[in-house]
Amino acid sequence: MGKDTGSAPAPRSADKVRNVALVGHAGAGKTTLAEALLVATGALPRLGRVEDGTTCLDTEEVEIRQRRSVSLGVATVEHAGHRLTILDTPGSPDFVGELRAGLRAADAALFVVSAVNGVDATTVALWQECATVGMPRAVVITQLDRARADVDDAVRLCQLMLGEGVYPMHLPDRGPDGGVRALVSLLEPHPGTNGNAAEADRLRGELIEGIIGESEDETLMDRYLAGDELAVADLVADLETAVARGHFHPVLCVAPLTGVGVPELLDLLVSAFPCPMEHGCPSVTRPDGSPAPALRCDPDGPLVAEVVKTTTDPYVGRVSLVRVFSGTLRPDILLHVSGHGMSERGHPDHDVDERIGAITSPLGAALRPVAACPAGDICAVARLGSAETGDTLSSPENPRLVPPWDLPTPQLPVAVEAVSHADEDRLATALARLVAEDPTVRLERRPDTGQLLLWCVGDAHAEVLLERLRVRHGVGVTTAPVRVPMVETLAGSARVTGRHVKQSGGHGQYAVVVIEGEPGPPGSGIVFEQRIVGGTVPSQFHGSVEKGIHTQARRGVSGDRPIVDVRVTLVDGKAHSVDSSDAAFQAAGALALRELVSTAGTRVLEPWCEVAVTVPGEYVGAVMSDLSGRRARVTGSDADPARDRTTVRAEIPEVELLGYPGVLRSVTHGTGSFIRRPMGYEPVPASVAVPA
């Protein structure tokens, strides 16, 4: 988002507001469609205008920019007395956090399907996800003017793969060259096109039956079955009810580059999509988790809003995109900022009062000042220094908390390093901003390897984050191979002596310890006991021996691998009345452990994880086969027939998970996910190479 430009229209009442998320796979044409809507409403002069407002792109350049679209884009336009906020969500599965932010801010989802590429598995998965939460949905077939475009086949695929309730609203009217030159409404009696009239009548009948099946007017069905011709106005009036209930899904066709279908789409968004009052508000609690009254979309109600996106603007600093669910947000007021439920992702719970700055309405990269943002509307807020994506904004006198939306756990670690000392200072600040902007990111400094890990959703997500560090934040950053921490334990038992004797004039250093060592149970750590008889090692030095052993175990003996799961018993030793000391016995304990490792030998252990991999049923075999090739032990599976999902449970070495997010995405065409939980260490097989 950039500078304030001009002024935005006055706030609308919620019944004149439509918040719509554009959803679909990468390359379906969401961004071009959003720009076509801006052009049609006069918000942009022509298709392809980019953020600097000076360059118009040709078709190929638009395609390239769309494929790189990886963040939630927002634009507000006016049409037929209504305010339409279009939320352009990214299509890559790596950016599902931005997608769900868009769905949280929207009241309906418009699925964008390419007439060239049809419906893919990712689109079906997103459709089912929206159905689960009751999100009203419609479909728009785009790219009608492309070579190999097949509108009829795309509509059939939508009906086949998206399930019941999918009805085309128009038929394409083709010119002599076969291109779509206009759309013919199926709501009109006897729609005539240059196609099959009988097919048009059949589709019209199905559409009307779908609409009146959701109507609250029970007489409509009787009139229709009796052969009465229903007025188009009556059918349009019931469209909104049908769509809002989430069981009726109209299909439109649009050619964004020529403008065919764009006016019809705008009219449908106004006449058929639900307003914020119909979609309802999320549940809320108080910040302490206690119950709070349910919200209504009321501009005079208690103020409750949510930060759905956070960006850093070069002109105004941090900018928060906010959806207001209740009350009215105004500039320069004091707000309570609450963030809870994200501590496991590296976002600690927080509650703070802040005074906000200006409120603006977003138009692509531009921001237009507004006097207020009432319930149901979306705006951008400046100067919220502590607010993160997913935080709740409310009144300090009556604070509320909206539970965070469900987000994937980042499973791809990327080890990042500053290029220079100057970059090290900037890196910490830049990473903190990335975490505040993106709740799917987790930052971790691993104590066992010392590496700084940026946990990402997938490879594309990691690439974008690294680019933002380098370009937006000006930090020289590079990556390194992620090191999986190996450890060692004893291969057998032994009795050894550790001797630390030095004399260099004056008081010397004298300590001799005899220890017995053996492997301990997995996860037991270093267990120290003493069985001294006769005071050969005075009791005040027993703790010194133990400290020396623990220090050496953490450092490791070979290859910087810590020593774990060893039972050590102090059985004998010698002390000197003058030269023995705490430091001498610490040194003797460390030497004894080194000798123990040398004598008894060691086994290298690697960390293992429990994983739960959730995929559509058709990919279970491929996933199990891939896991077996990764030394995994499949322990079971659970099927969910209602969602056509199966969760495969397995145990697997952590090193085998380093590139697994990308592999799983490839195997399941972007529809699989997994979670992990550490389960301890196991010996590395002799057939597996172990890094020193």
What pLDDT, on a 0 to 100 scale, did the predictor assign at position 342?
78
Among 69-73, 237-241, 685-689, the range with the most confident prediction by mean pLDDT is 237-241
The CATH homologous superfamily for domain 412-480 is Elongation Factor G (Translational Gtpase), domain 3 (3.30.70.870)
What pLDDT, on a 0 to 100 scale, did the predictor assign at position 48?
55
What pLDDT, on a 0 to 100 scale, did the predictor assign at position 9?
52
pLDDT at 1 over 60: no
- Identical fold, 15-189+243-279 and 487-600: no
What pLDDT, on a 0 to 100 scale, did the predictor assign at position 192?
61
Lowest-pLDDT choice from 196-200, 269-273, 405-409? 196-200
From the options 1.10.290.10, 3.40.50.300, 3.30.70.240, 3.40.50.2000, give the CATH code of 604-683.
3.30.70.240
What pLDDT, on a 0 to 100 scale, did the predictor assign at position 12?
65
Of 602, 590, 524, whose CA–CA distance to 552 is shortest?
A: 590
What average pLDDT does the segment 79-108 reach?
Answer: 89
pLDDT at 509 over 60: yes
What pLDDT, on a 0 to 100 scale, did the predictor assign at position 621?
95
| CATH class of the structural domain 15-189+243-279 | alpha beta
pLDDT at 108 over 70: yes
> DSSP labels for 524-582?
--EEEEE---TTSS-GGGHHHHHHHHHHHHHH-SSTTPPB-SEEEEEEEEE--TTT--H
Burial of 161 (0-12, 13-18, 19+ CB in 10 A): middle
Provide the token pair at 159.
């009906």
Looking at residue 135, its amino acid is M
Q: What is the pTM of this model?
A: 0.82
166 vs 190 pLDDT, higher one: 166
260 φ, ψ (degrees, to nearest 5): -65, 130
Write out pLDDT tens, residues 133-170: 889 999 999 988 787 888 889 999 999 999 889 999 98
Residues in the chain: 692
What pLDDT, on a 0 to 100 scale, did the predictor assign at position 66?
39
Write out pLDDT tens, residues 444-476: 999 888 999 999 999 999 999 999 999 888 999
pLDDT band, residue 521 (cuts 50/70/90): very high
CA–CA dist 602, 592 (Å, integer): 15
What average pLDDT does the segment 186-190 reach?
Answer: 79
The third-level CATH classification (topology) of the domain covering 487-600 is: Ribosomal Protein S5; domain 2 (3.30.230)
pLDDT band, residue 49 (cuts 50/70/90): very low
What pLDDT, on a 0 to 100 scale, did the predictor assign at position 365?
54
Q: Tell me 56's DSSP state.
A: B
Write out pLDDT tens, residues 606-657: 999 999 999 999 999 999 999 999 999 999 999 998 778 899 999 999 999 9
What average pLDDT does the segment 332-352 reach?
Answer: 86
Domain ranges within the chain, ordered by starting residue: 15-189+243-279, 304-394, 412-480, 487-600, 604-683
Q: In 3-state terms, what secondary structure has residue 455?
A: strand
328, β-bridge pairs: 374
What pLDDT, on a 0 to 100 scale, did the predictor assign at position 195?
61
What average pLDDT does the segment 660-683 reach?
Answer: 92
Helix, strand, coil % over all residues of the chain, rounded to 5: 30, 30, 40
The third-level CATH classification (topology) of the domain covering 304-394 is: Elongation Factor Tu (Ef-tu); domain 3 (2.40.30)
What pLDDT, on a 0 to 100 scale, did the predictor assign at position 55?
29
pLDDT band, residue 11 (cuts 50/70/90): low
> DSSP labels for 252-316?
EE-BTTTTBTHHHHHHHHHHHSPPHHHH-----B-TTS-B-PPP---TTS--EEEEEEEEEETTT
What average pLDDT does the segment 683-691 reach?
Answer: 78
What average pLDDT does the segment 483-490 reach?
Answer: 94
Q: In 3-state terms, what secondary structure has residue 226?
A: coil
What average pLDDT does the segment 230-253 reach?
Answer: 86
CA–CA dist 654, 485 (Å, integer): 9
Write out pLDDT tens, residues 654-669: 999 999 999 999 999 8
pLDDT band, residue 279 (cuts 50/70/90): confident
